[in-house]
Amino acid sequence: MKNTLIPVIAIDGPSASGKGTISQLVAETLGFHYLDSGALYRVVAFAAKQNGISWADADALANMTEMLDIRFEHGAVFLGSQEISQEIRSEAMGKGASEVSAHPQVRSALTMLQQEFAKPPGLVADGRDMGSVIFPDAVLKIFLTASAETRAERRYKQLLERNVDADYTAILQDLQMRDKRDSERSTAPLVQTPDALLLDTSHRTIDEAVDFVLNAYKNVLNSSLSH
Ligand code: DC
């Protein structure tokens, strides 16, 4: 039985698949809250670095995570009183997030915090295990992906637009390595659950992808009304 009291739309998928942009637009259109769960793992990687804790030290990371004061305010990310929205977006913190998130202790230290985001009128949650672990009762689960080449090309163009030096081959290799780590870890790996709809954005625009999710949500609402 799906929990429709507080509807959750779970959007999972690999790095640079466009999940963040698409999830935020869906949340805005529906007036729902938005959870960027990847940002939480990035904050853990950032805080570990600040506190001299190794990304490999699962127990120390989990103890630290329990104590962290992480807040999202109008799209900005705060650790205590420090705004770290930009800092956590670096490639280094992306890599750190992928490493710290492989520890089950760290994942369980973040579970409740993530579940508390489910508030009326609803939530769009973006990550790797939103539909499989954190919100198994989500009314709609989307597995959003794109080929590694498409994702690398998008990231490459973004960097060039920002006048950042970029190397397509290095980006592609980095994405493939991150995909492998996120998919092969033993706890909450990135997987498409059987009840998730596949949305491949390789040949779709952002608007088309957003429409796909909104239509799928409409179908969920219509089918729950007719039952
Ligand atoms: O979505 P992102 O690139 O900001 O996520 C950074 C890393 O965090 C990603 O490589 C894997 C991890 N992550 C996770 O394990 N589970 C989530 N729900 C979200 C992110």
Share of the chain above pLDDT 70, in %: 98
Q: What is the mean pLDDT of residues 117-143?
A: 96
Q: Relative to the CA of 42, which ligand 1 atom is closest?
A: 6
Q: Is the pTM of this model over 0.85?
A: yes
Q: What is the mean pLDDT of residues 161-170?
A: 88
Mean pLDDT of all residues belonging to the chain: 93
The pLDDT tens digits for 141-161 are 999 999 999 999 998 998 888
pLDDT at 4: 58
Whether 137 and 114 have beta carbons less than 8 Å apart is answered as: no
* Tokens coding 3: 């929990």
Calpha distance 84→137 (Å, rounded): 32
Choose the weakest-confidence range: 45-49, 67-71, 127-131, 156-160: 156-160
From 8, 23, 37, mutation site for ligand 1 pocket: most ligand atoms within 8 A of C-beta: 37
**Nearest alpha carbon, ligand 1 atom 9:** 98
| Terminal-residue alpha carbon distance, the chain | 12
Q: Does the pLDDT at position 218 exceed 90?
A: yes
Ligand 1 centroid distance, CA of 166 (Å): 22
Q: Does the pLDDT at position 227 exceed 80?
A: no
pLDDT at 166: 86
Strand, helix or coil for residue 57: coil
pLDDT at 24: 96
- Nearest to 46, CA basis, from 73, 83, 14: 83
